Structure 1
Amino acid sequence: MDNGEIRLNKYISSIGLCSRREADRMIEDGRVRILRPDGTAAVASLGDRFTPGDQIEVDGKILENNEAEKLYLMLNKPKGIVCTGDRRIKENIIDYAGLNHYISYAGRLDRDSTGLVLLTNDGELNDRIMRASNCHEKEYICKVDKFVTYDFLSKMRQGVTIVLDDDHNLTGEIGPDGKPVGKTVKTRPCKVWKTGKREFHIILTQGYNRQIRRMCAALGFTVLKIKRIRIMNLELGGLREGMKRFLTKEEIAELKKQAGM
C-alpha cells in the first residue's frame, strides 16, 4: 500500500492485541486514539489507516509493536471468566491467564460456558480462525433442561431462526414492547447427536453470540451447561478446568495449515 499504510484494525490485530473484529469494536467505543508524528491526535474512526510513524493508544496506553515471539496456548476456561480484551472488566480472560503480552483469544465463550479457548498474539491466525466464511469447526457438549428428542435434533441440524439482540446486531427499530429490535438470522446446518437423556454434542461452523443458547431457546429448551471440547484440530483432552498449556509444534503447524497459512 502507498507509504506503508494499512487499515488501523489490521495493525492492531497484527501486534496480537485482538482480532480485527474486536479492534473495530474498540474503535466504535471510542477507546482508540491515533497520535501522528506532527503532534496531532484524534480519536480513531472505523476505516482509519495506520501510517508508519504513528502511535496508537488504547485505553490511554501506547501500543508497542516489538515483534514479540508468537505465543500459542489453550486454556480450559472456567465459568465466570469473561472472554474480552477489555482489561477494565473484572475477571477478563487476559488477566485470568496471567499473561503480560499483548494477546487475544480465538473463539469467544460466554461467561457461563466452559472449555477450550485459544490464546495467541498471532493476529493473522486469529483472524483466519474467527472469520465465519472459513467455516472452521468448533465442538461442544451441551446439557439442557428437557429430554433430547429426535424432533429437537432434526431442527437443530437444519438450522434454527434466532434473533441477535446484542448491541452490534440491532436494526435501529423499536419493537411493540419498547425494546430495540435485533437482527433475525437462520443458523447454518450443523452436526448434532444425542449423548444422554438431556445431553448432546454439536459442531458449529459459525459463532454468533450465545448461538447454542439462542438456538435451544427458540425450540423451547434451556441450556444448563456448555463446554467446548474442540477448535478445529485442537482438542481439550484432559486439560483440567482453569489450566492452560502451550500448543505443540505439531498442533501449531496443523492449525495454520487448516487456517490456510
Structure 2
Amino acid sequence: MSPPIRVAKFLSHAGVCSRRQASRLITAERVRVNGALAQHITHVSPHDHVTVDGEEVLGLAPKRYFAYHKPVGIDCKLQPHNPQSLIHHLPAGPRVYPVGRLDKDSRGLLILTNDGALCQRLSHPDFAHQKEYWVEVDKPLNPEFFVQMRSGITLGEHTTRPCVCEPLSTTRFKIILTQGLNRQIRKMAKHCGYRVTDLIRVRIGDYVLQPERINEHHFQALTPEQVYGLQK
C-alpha cells in the first residue's frame, strides 16, 4: 500500500490542479477528507474519500505530457466562463494544466501536464530552468538596452535576475530567463523605453518548439525521452 501523502500533493497527482492551486483550495475550505475540512497538514491514503467543492476525486490519474503551440488571443487562465480560455482547447481525457503562463498577447510553447512534481520543477525559480523567447519591439535597439536587460531591472518589489539577451535583428532580440514574473519581458522592455510588438516562447528547458511540426493551436504528446529532458 502506498504511504500517506499530503492532500495538496494528492490533488496535484490526481490531476485536479497544481500543488500551489491545491493549497489555495485548502485555504478556501473547498477540500474535504472523509467529510472533514482538509488542513494543509492533512495526509491521505488511497482508501480516503477526498472531495473538492463536493465532487469526489477518484484517485491518481495517469501522467500526461503535451507541448502546445499557443496562438495570440488564448488566455492561459483556466476559466470555463471565458470563451477565450485555454480550458476550451485542452486535449480530451484527464485534465492537464499549463506549466507557467504566456499572457494573452504572447504566443509559443506551453507544456501541459497533470504531473505536479514536474510543474513545480519547471515553475519554481530555485530550479533555474531556462525559458527562451524571441521578441520584436517597436524601434531599433541600442547597446544600452542589452546592458540593462542582461544586468537586471527593478520592477516594483522585484529585481530581475541577470540573463542572456542578444540581438537577432535591429528590432528583434533573444532573451533567456530563469524566472517568470508577471509580464516580465514586456515590463523590462518598457523600462528601457521600448514596446513589445511580438513575443514568442521557443524553448523550455531542453524542449524546443518546432513550428513546422506543431502548428499554432495544436498539441503534441511528449515522448518519455522529452519528459526526462524536462525533469533534469
Note whether the superposition's TM-score is higher than 0.5: yes
Matches within 5 A, 1:40-55: 40-42=35-37, 47-52=40-45, 53-55=47-49
Q: CA deviation at 1:88?
A: 4.2
1:6-48 deviation per Cα after TM superposition (whole angstroms, max 9, x unaligned): 33322221223332223234445x3732142xxx443x56x35
Give the partner amino acid of 2:56: I
Q: CA deviation at 1:190?
A: 0.3
The yes-or-no answer on 1:211 pairing with 2:204 is no
Q: Report the counterpart of residue 119 of structure 2 in structure 1.
A: 126
Give the partner amino acid of 1:244: F
The yes-or-no answer on 1:62 pairing with 2:56 is yes
Conserved? CA contact 1:76–1:244, under 8 Å:
yes
1:201-239 deviation per Cα after TM superposition (whole angstroms, max 9, x unaligned): 100001111111121122222211111000001111122
Conserved? CA contact 1:143–1:198, under 8 Å:
yes
Distance 2:73 2:53 in 1: 24
Conserved? CA contact 1:81–1:96, under 8 Å:
no
The 1:188–1:253 alpha-carbon spacing in structure 2 relative to 1, beyond 3 Å, is same
Matches within 5 A, 1:175-186: 184-186=157-159
- Per the alignment, in what secondary structure is the counterpart of residue 200 of structure 1? strand
Conserved? CA contact 1:102–1:121, under 8 Å:
yes
The yes-or-no answer on 1:73 pairing with 2:66 is yes
Give the partner amino acid of 1:142: V
Give the partner amino acid of 1:133: D
Distance 2:29 2:76 in 1: 18
Which structure 1 residue ranges, 5 or more long, are not aligned? 164-183
Q: Report the counterpart of residue 230 of structure 1 in structure 2.
A: 203
1:111 to 104, 115, 120: 104
2:216 to 224, 236, 241: 241
Q: CA deviation at 1:69?
A: 2.7
Conserved? CA contact 1:31–1:58, under 8 Å:
no
Q: Report the counterpart of residue 149 of structure 2 in structure 1.
A: 156
Q: Report the counterpart of residue 7 of structure 2 in structure 1.
A: 8
- Out of 85-94 and 141-150, give the one that drifted further: 85-94
Which structure 2 residue ranges, 5 or more long, are not aligned? none
2:128 to 131, 135, 141: 135
- Per the alignment, in what secondary structure is the counterpart of residue 168 of structure 2? strand
Extract structure 1 runs of 4+ deviating beyond 4 A: none
Q: Report the counterpart of residue 30 of structure 2 in structure 1.
A: 32
Distance 1:64 1:88 in 2: 25
Give the partner amino acid of 1:61: E
Q: CA deviation at 1:140?
A: 0.5
Distance 1:213 1:191 in 2: 16
Q: CA deviation at 1:145?
A: 1.6
Root-mean-square deviation (CA), in Å?
2.2
**TM-score of the two chains, using structure 2 as the length reference:** 0.88
Q: Report the counterpart of residue 200 of structure 1 in structure 2.
A: 173
The yes-or-no answer on 1:102 pairing with 2:95 is yes
What percent of counterpart residues are identical? Answer: 36
Count of aligned positions: 228
1:55-94 deviation per Cα after TM superposition (whole angstroms, max 9, x unaligned): 44335533221x3332111000111212134434433223
**TM-score of the two chains, using structure 1 as the length reference:** 0.79
Conserved? CA contact 2:207–2:229, under 8 Å:
no
Distance 2:89 2:125 in 1: 27
